[in-house]
Every structure is written in structure tokens, then in C-alpha cells.
Amino acid sequence: MVYSVAVAGASGYVGGELLRLLAGHVEFDVRTVTAFRTAGRSVGSVHRHLRSGADLTLVDTTVAQLAGHDIVFLALPHGASGEIAAGLDSDALVIDCGADHRLRDEREWNTFYGGKFFAPWPYGLPEMVIGGSSDGRVQRDDLQGVKRIAVPGCNVTAVTLGIAPGLRAGVVQPDDLVAVLVVGTSGAGKNPASELFASEVLGSASAYAVGGIHRHIPEIHQNLTCAGGVRPTISFTPVIAPLSRGILATSTARLEPGVSKIDVRSAWEDAYANEPFVHVLPAGQFPRTGDVIGSNTALIGLAVDEAAQRVVTVTAIDNLIKGTAGAAIQSANVALGIEETTGLIVNGMAP
């Protein structure tokens, strides 16, 4: 079966990645692409690297333009996708790559985002482990057959995949979690900002949203609670580095008393043993962002700092693929009962 697809916000970085990946999906046919400021232009003039669908014309982002498609991907700023989605047919599969339908707590939304609060949708991180179940349940189980999906934030994906298995297995403590992320500039989107100019970024690195104010923090709390963490606390610090794309998340957690290195490695390896896109590296190996660029893969390196009695995980993802566009397509595959890996790439492009 071939599904008709519309991509809203197709002129941005995430929209471009959706178009690039969807071009290789044998069951998804992109028929409509929308934008705001670049409406009226061709896809090829906005995304000069895209040859597939280059002649498609970007149209205004309206409910009328998006209606009538089997699948709608929304790659819009927060506050924009909620209003659009509310007007779409309930039979369409709608995947929101923005923040509007991620959070369950309206107070957290008001604190970190503001504006109208929209009801949460099923969460689009298939590999996320769920605590309190004896059958090893994962988020994938809650995506099958759904018509609405909220894709995680890219930083959230890296931290969640890196820490959640330890919480579910009970080998780490939920308080005093720490995550420091090296992130590429594409995570900020295409809107011009002086701090992202090449002259500011090249040869330099800078922390931002320091001190617990980053918008992804409540989403991380939500996920780690879902994994089994009781009132988790995390110090989360992102650092812009001279990379166009990629995230390298170093996350640490205190060991529970009596936990061994074998217990730790088993917790992570058991969580991801059968996952096509999340791989735990052998002991002593740690990923680089270059290992995953261009792929829907997350690589995790794992160590125990015995002197500090902490687990250290290093997780690498491509923020535009596993962090957003790839996760959206992967989740859509699950929801529709299509082979989960369809249209997605497991191999990175390094060097």
C-alpha cells in the first residue's frame, strides 16, 4: 500500500531531512509540502541538496492544504503545530516533530514554554523502556495503531536512551543525575541568530540554557519517571560546538549500593538487545558524533567510575535524524504496522 504524505514546515532543517528520508520510503509518497516565508518557491531552491521532489512547490501551511492526506508530518515551531493539528481529520496519522504534544503536565508547559497547552499524544520514542513491567515493555507497544504521535526533543532522546535502562533495572539512583551534551548548530533551526554565525562558532564552544532552564528538562523528567525513576532530578547542560549536526551526551548517575559492573552492563545490553537502531558498544569503546551522522542510529558507550561510584554513558545521535525526522518516520512505521526500519539508515557517514 502507498500512503499519501504531506510535510508541513518542509523548508526547515527537519523538514528537509523528512523529505530526504521519505524519498527512499517505498510506502510513503510525498504529495504536498508547506512553508511560511518560503511558500511559492520550489523544494530544490530551498534545499539544494535534494534532487528527489525538487520540483515540488511549497504552499502555505494551512489545514486546507494538509487535509486529505493519509499521513501528515508537522515540522513546525512550538505553538504552531497544535492549532494546525486540531483541524486535521481524526483518521489521518499526524506526527508532530515539535513540542506541542509532548508534555503531560500543563504547569510544566507554562513554566518552560508558555502559550496554549495541548493534550499530550503517544510518545514517539519506540525504544524507550518502561518501568514497573515484568515483560520488558517499551514505548513501541503504545504506538501500534495510533493516529497521533509526538516526537521527542533531540536532546531528550540522547539523555533518555543513555540513562533510562539503569533506572528500569534499579542499578542507578534517580536523584543527582547529570547530563552534559555537545550539540550541533542545526538543532537551533534555520532562523538567523548571531551566536550561530560561523565566526562565532568555529574554533569555540559555549554552554547555553545553563542552570535548569532548558525547555527539554521537563520532558526528560517525564521520560525518566516513566522508566521507573522516582522523582528524578537532573542537572542538564547543553554546549554548542562547531558541528553542523550531531549530539554527544555524557550522562552520569550514582550506583545503587552493591551493584556490580556486570549488573550495569546487563541492564543496558538487555534493554537494547533486539533494537535495530540503538546499540551498546563493547566495554572500553565510546561513540563519536561522526559515527552516526546521516543515520537513525544511537550508539551508547558505557563505563563505571568506581572511585566516584557512578555510571557514565556516552550517547551519540544525529539530532536531525534519530533526534527528530528519523524518529518520526520510525514511529509512523510502527503505528501503521510497516517494517520499522523501512526508509531508514543504520550506517553513519564518517569520515
Mind telling me the catalytic residues?
154
Instruction: For 14, list phi and psi in degrees, rounded to 5.
Output: -65, -45
Give the integer Cα–Cα distance in Å for 265 and 34.
Answer: 45
Cell of 62: 494551512
Give the integer Cα–Cα distance in Å for 277 and 299.
Answer: 8
Query: Which uninterrupted H or E stretch holds 331?
Result: helix 326-336
First to last CA, the chain: 37
For residue 42, which of 59, 22, 23 has the smallest C-alpha distance? 59
β-bridge mates for residue 6, sequence order: 32, 72
User: What is the DSSP track for 203-269?
Assistant: T--EE-STTTT-TTHHHHHHHHHHTT-SS--EEEEEEE-S-SS-EEEEEEEEBPTT--HHHHHHHHH
